């Protein structure tokens, strides 16, 4: 049984103006997502600014979201790192807290060979019993997990069950599915590719757009799962301008701005990320208005 099917939100981490985590606001976001039909919450991923959270903050945010969600929908904890030792520590702590699954980004900056990736992921998996979703986002990490490597991991490591694919390489993803097939739970890591990836056998999306449009993002995926591919495709295309605006600057700059434009007051970003350029803010606001969010 899949960890989830449909649309999971890669949730932002709201901050106070002084840069500390705003837990009260995080609770509001969790409730907004559940009320909007979101199928899972992915906490402390890229969109959650995990790279600038301390280890203590990282675990505190995971703990808070697990407790607030209270098993109403699955919580998938982002516990990956470019350090295998750190990933083991975060993963084992998240399991103790009651996370439903883990999301492990590929090692960034120092990267790894494909053989090294097998050892890295196998070692982390051996320390926990939770199901694990790999996260392939080479544009950010500089490290591409090749289809053969992903297929080997899901076939040989019992609790590595899936991958969030954000390579934007449909040919590579098709190759992966030809190798792994029913052994893998595939999720789109790009909001613009929900329908194409589900057409290849994907279970849904781990979404940035869902932060501001949970009901609509869920509907794109659920309509496909219900068998109405034509309607799902139409909904996907209707959202394209908004999706492009949400990625006109590096994630999560635009999505945090979008939430603030909606009056959600999720606060600032942590350096080295800073506020959006004015022209891009205007573009984002227009796309949100055209989509019915403002």
pLDDT in tens, 57-88: 999 999 999 999 999 999 999 999 999 999 99
- Candidate list 25, 68, 118, 164, residue with the active-site label: 164
- Candidate list 135, 187, 203, 256, residue with the active-site label: 135
Return d(Cα 133, Cα 24) in angstroms, integer: 28
Q: Are 189 and 163 in contact (CB under 8 A)?
A: no
Q: How many CB atoms lie within 10 A of CB 19?
A: 12
Which are the contacts of 281, defined by CB distance < 8 A and separation ≥ 6? 257
Is residue 1 over pLDDT 90?
A: no
Return d(Cα 119, Cα 86) in angstroms, integer: 15
Q: Two tokens at 176?
A: 């992966």
Check residue 219 and give its pLDDT: 98
Q: Say whether 135 is catalytic.
A: yes
The helix/strand/coil state of 77 is: strand
Is residue 163 over pLDDT 90?
A: yes
pLDDT in tens, 193-207: 999 999 999 999 999
Confidence class for position 181, pLDDT limits 50, 70, 90: confident
Q: Say whether 164 is catalytic.
A: yes
Q: What's the pTM?
A: 0.97
Is residue 264 over pLDDT 90?
A: yes
Is residue 132 over pLDDT 90?
A: yes
Return d(Cα 87, Cα 124) in angstroms, integer: 7
Mean predicted confidence (pLDDT) in 117-123: 98
């Amino acid at each position: 049984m899949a960890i989830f099917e449909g649309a999971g939100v890669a949730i932002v981490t709201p901050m106070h103006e002084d840069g500390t985590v705003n837990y009260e606001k995080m609770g509001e976001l969790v409730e907004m997502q559940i009320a909007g039909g979101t199928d899972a919450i992915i906490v402390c991923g890229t969109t959650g600014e995990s790279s600038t959270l301390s280890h203590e903050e990282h675990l505190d945010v995971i703990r808070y979201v697990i407790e607030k969600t209270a098993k109403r929908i699955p919580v998938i904890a982002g516990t990956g790192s470019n350090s295998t030792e750190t990933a083991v520590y975060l993963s084992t702590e998240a399991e103790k807290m009651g996370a439903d699954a883990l999301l492990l980004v590929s090692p960034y900056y120092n990267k790894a060979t494909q053989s090294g990736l097998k050892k890295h992921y196998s070692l982390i998996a051996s320390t926990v019993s939770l199901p694990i979703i790999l996260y392939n986002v080479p544009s950010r990490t500089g490290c591409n997990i090749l289809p053969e490597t992903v297929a080997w991991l899901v076939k040989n490591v019992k609790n590595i069950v899936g991958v969030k694919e954000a390579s934007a390489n449909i040919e590579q993803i098709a190759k992966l599915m030809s190798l792994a097939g029913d052994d893998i739970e595939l999720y789109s890591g790009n909001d613009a590719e929900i329908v194409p990836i589900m057409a290849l056998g994907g279970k849904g999306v781990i979404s940035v757009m869902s932060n501001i449009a949970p009901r609509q993002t869920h509907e794109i995926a659920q309509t496909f799962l219900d068998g109405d591919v034509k309607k799902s495709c139409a909904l996907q295309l209707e959202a394209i301008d908004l999706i492009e605006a949400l990625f006109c600057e590096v994630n999560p700059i635009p999505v945090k701005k979008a939430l603030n434009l909606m009056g959600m007051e999720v606060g600032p970003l942590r350096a080295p990320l800073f506020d959006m350029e004015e022209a891009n803010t205007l573009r984002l606001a227009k796309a949100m208005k055209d989509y019915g969010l403002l």
